[in-house]
Amino acid sequence: MTRIQELASIISTNTDRIDAHLTSRGLPTPSFDADAPESLDLPSDLQAARVLVIEASTELKELLQGPKELLMSNSSSQFVSLRAIYHYKMAETFPVGSEATFVQISEACGLNEPDVRRILRHAMAHRIFREVRKGVVVHTAASRLLAESRQLKSWTGVNVEEMWPAAVQTVPAMIKWPNSQEATHTGFSIANDTQDSIFVTLGKDPKRAARFGEGMSAFNTSGGYELDHLVNHKIWSTLGYGLVVDLGGSHGDAMIALAMKYPSLKFVVQDLPRTIESRPTTPPNVADRVEFLAHDFFEEQPIKHADLYFFRWIFHDWSDEYCVRILRNLIPALKHKSRMIINDACLPEPNTLSNGAERQIRSMDLAMLQIQNSRERELQDWETLFVKADPRFKFLGVTQPKGSKLAIIEAIWEPVV
Ligand SMILES: C[S@@+](CC[C@H](N)C(=O)[O-])C[C@H]1O[C@@H](n2cnc3c(N)ncnc32)[C@H](O)[C@@H]1O
């Protein structure tokens, strides 16, 4: 069998399995229609089948394209339509389930009709909106999310208005500040004409801070980043009536999820003031056990003797020098056997992941470069970080929950007594 035949067979077999499951339960078949579910709800073996189909169909497509077409298929304009749709709030100009003409959308959003038409037709080629009759637009499942999901809107806003401009300026930043590890020497710095880091910049603008927090919340519910992987880890049930402090915890999603499952634990979520202020209301059933506190992790930790200090997606935002500072700022607060958990990626050896997972993790690594001059780390890097910070941190190792894109990196404070 040739590779393309093999791929076609993987696609066919696994698509049949998914289809049989959906059909036998009367569940809707995947579609781009506005009423399609936000994601496919499948049991874990069929989620694996879904990933196999996606991986195989991508490889098949790219093999059949050939190298020339593959290289030339990267479009520099891919985010123009999405950014325009986001900026002009085009998805919100007419209700889901109804129709609108390009003229009506233009009048509602304030952009001239010819540009509305070309922007939307570009997006339609990517399944966002559909032209049901000439000049008449309806929502698809993707444009419905842009119209109705606050989190998805924010995620898109962060992507097209914070990340993308920074990406464009990343190589100029590398040329301007060679080998810099500073969070103020980045594509983000050039794109925003600022000498502040992204987090200081967002901290000065409540709307941007709130949007970033909501965008992070969207991440926490999607492909491999779901909080279940964290919540189901064995460590939490060993903490008894313990106190957990989440540094850079944004709107508290992780601690709220843990509080729901572990009623004896108490939590403090720390972040910069604008992020803490912009959080949504905490669910009432856990509000008495999840406290929010503005705290800059480059200052000394004010909550003493917690059982566990937690960092999710924090260290990948900072170069080593700054990570060491973050860890050292904990030391005055630590008690014997305080635990540290870092919930971040642990880069595997090259070519050990599926291509889809490899693309995602390498993109995240570059995203960290473009906004913070930081990076994703390998196992050895994590161990070294604790050693550099203080030899009294004992590195316990890394576990990779099945299906999770983030690892659990553990250390314990063990000064000689
Ligand atoms: C990538 S987000 C991760 C958010 C959250 N831990 C999660 O997993 O959804 C990084 C967070 O670090 C926060 N942050 C950045 N600099 C900080 C600082 N100096 N002190 C405290 N929080 C900070 C940001 O506001 C942001 O919420």
The complex's ipTM works out to 0.99
pTM for the predicted model, two decimal places = 0.89
Report the pLDDT value the prediction gives residue 112, as an integer from 0 to 100. Answer: 98
Across 225-229, 265-269, 345-349, which has the greatest mean pLDDT? 265-269
Mean pLDDT of 90-96: 98
3-class DSSP assignment, residue 347: strand
**Burial degree of 66 (CB within 10 A; 0-12, 13-18, 19+):** exposed
List domains and CATH numbers for the chain. Answer: 3-72 (no CATH), 80-147 (1.10.10.10), 216-413 (3.40.50.150)
**Do 242 and 304 touch, CB atoms closer than 8 A?**
no
**Do 284 and 350 touch, CB atoms closer than 8 A?**
no
Nearest residue (by CA) to ligand 1, atom 2, is 313
Nearest residue (by CA) to ligand 1, atom 3, is 313
Q: Which token pair is 262?
A: 């572990």
**Burial degree of 47 (CB within 10 A; 0-12, 13-18, 19+):** middle
Catalytic pick from 126, 305, 316, 336?
A: 316
CA nearest to 111, candidates 85, 73, 137: 85
Nearest residue (by CA) to ligand 1, atom 15, is 199
- Residue 265's region, left for phi above 0, alpha for psi from -120 to 50, else beta, is beta
C-beta of 148 in contact with ligand 1 (< 6 A): no
Out of 184, 212, 250, mutate this one to test ligand 1's pocket (max ligand atoms within 8 Å of CB): namely 250
**CA of residue 323 relative to chain centroid, distance:** 20
Q: Which atom of ligand 1 is nearest to the CA of 202?
A: 25
> pLDDT at residue 14 above 80?
yes
pLDDT confidence bin for 44, thresholds 50/70/90 = confident
Measured distance CA(112)–CA(135) in Å, rounded: 14
Residue 95: CB atoms within 10 Å = 12
DSSP H/E element including 343: strand 339-344
C-beta of 296 in contact with ligand 1 (< 6 A): yes
CA nearest to 232, candidates 12, 404, 354, 357: 404
Report the pLDDT value the prediction gives residue 168, as an integer from 0 to 100. Answer: 97
C-beta of 271 in contact with ligand 1 (< 6 A): yes
Report the pLDDT value the prediction gives residue 21, as an integer from 0 to 100. Answer: 97
3-class DSSP assignment, residue 131: strand
At residue 208's C-alpha, the angle toward residues 206 and 209, to 5°, is 60
Residues 179-219: tens digit of each pLDDT: 999 999 999 999 999 999 999 999 999 999 999 999 988 88
Task: Give yes or no: 336 in active site.
Answer: no
